[in-house]
Amino acid sequence: MFADEPARLGESRLSDGRLLGWAEWGPPDGVPVVLCPGAATSRWLGFGAGVVEALGVRLVSVDRPGLGVSTPAPGRTFSDFAGDIRQLGVLRGLGRPAVVGNSQGAPFALACAEEGVASALAVVSGADEVAAPEFASTLAADLRGLVERTASDPVGAEEFFAGFGAEAMWGMVMTASPGCDLAVYQDPDFAVAYRRALDEGFVQGAAGYARDTVLAMGRWPFALDEIAVPVDIWYGERDTSHSPDNGALLATRMPGAHRRVVPGTGGALLWTHAEPILTSLLEKASAAR
């Protein structure tokens, strides 16, 4: 199995009255690891079925505002999200957790690292900073157009992304993924879980996804060279969707970041290589304490 049902589901009320939805896997007294999920997916899609239990990990996946059951927060920023996770850490007794950022969740995880919320970080098949000037000449024409549109008219870009839905997202993933990833995504059990997470992600409409996408496609406001926590950067060598260079530039921008490119796999790395990803993350988090 690539993913299984959450062991616990809940919502926590933040200081401004908003609700933040979460799901948990593994022992409730395990080592806390917060998951920032991929684009438009809700708290329902975890990873590491069986692995989190074996490693003693308390995996916590969080609905970003406007997705799943989390209260919308129009105009929110990366820093706002890091603040939400800081509050959740207090409310749920997570302390300073290790954090995993998958796909579009990667820059949100980086925000947690930059603001000292995370003890260690794993970027897995992470959406890279495609608006970085170093990538301008390497982007496909359609992606470059979206990046330029987001930079010149972020409000209009957000309205454009709000036209997407669960079916469109599923179609994009199926069209853009190599065969090694489709073997995961089209696995009958995984497909049910993934489709459910997409449906949940859009249950309040597309505004949450649209805000996430505008933030992720714009220039990131992070001082990446000031991130002091240990960082693993993981990409599959066949992943052509998340980073123009499989994280090579990203790794150079963070002191001490360790980049790993896994042969024979693509963007589904979070589910095919959960054990080494979590094992390394736990080692780094333990050493950082």
- Asked if residue 108 belongs to a domain, the reply is yes
The total of structural domains in the chain comes to 1
CATH number at residue 205: 3.40.50.1820
Instruction: Name the token pair of 218.
Output: 């714009």
32 Cβ contact partners less than 8 Å away, ≥ 6 residues apart:
58, 60, 89, 94, 95, 97, 98
User: Model pTM?
Assistant: 0.97
Distance of CA 182 to the CA centre of its chain: 19
Contact residues for 250 (Cβ-Cβ < 8 A; gap 6+): 123, 126, 128, 129, 224, 233, 243, 257, 259
Whether 106 is covered by a domain: the verdict is yes
Q: Is residue 84 situated within a structural domain? A: yes
Tell me the three state secondary structure of residue 100: strand
Does residue 86 form part of some domain?
yes
Q: Are 38 and 32 in contact (CB under 8 A)?
A: no
Residue 273 lies inside a defined structural domain of this protein: yes
Is residue 221 assigned to a domain?
Answer: yes
Query: Which DSSP helix (H) or strand (E) runs through 60?
Result: strand 57-62
What is the token pair recorded at 92? 């749920």
Domain that holds residue 131: 8-288
DSSP letter string over 150-181? Answer: HHH-HHHHHHHHTT--HHHHHHHHHHH--HHH
**Whole-number Å distance between alpha carbons of 2 and 180:** 14
Q: What is the pLDDT of residue 79?
A: 98
Helix (H) or strand (E) holding 59: strand 57-62
- Would you state the structure tokens that stand for residue 28, as one six-digit string? 């409730």
Q: Is residue 122 part of a domain?
A: yes
CA 267/CA 160 separation, integer angstroms: 25
Q: Residue 256's pLDDT is what?
A: 84
Q: What are all long-range contacts of 255-258, with beta carbons under 8 Å and residues at least 24 apart?
A: 255/225, 255/227, 255/228, 256/230, 256/231, 257/231, 257/232, 257/233, 258/230, 258/231, 258/232, 258/233
What does each of the 289 residues of the chain score in pLDDT, given as a tens digit?
A: 799 999 999 999 999 999 999 999 999 999 999 999 999 999 999 999 999 999 999 999 999 999 999 999 999 999 999 999 999 999 999 999 999 999 999 999 999 999 999 999 999 999 999 999 999 999 999 999 999 999 999 999 999 999 999 999 999 999 999 999 999 999 999 999 999 999 999 999 999 999 999 999 999 999 999 999 999 999 999 999 999 999 999 999 998 899 999 999 999 999 999 999 999 999 999 987 7
Which residues are registered as beta bridge partners of 60? 24, 34
| Domain annotation covers residue 162 | yes
- Among 269, 274, 227, CA closest to 251: 227
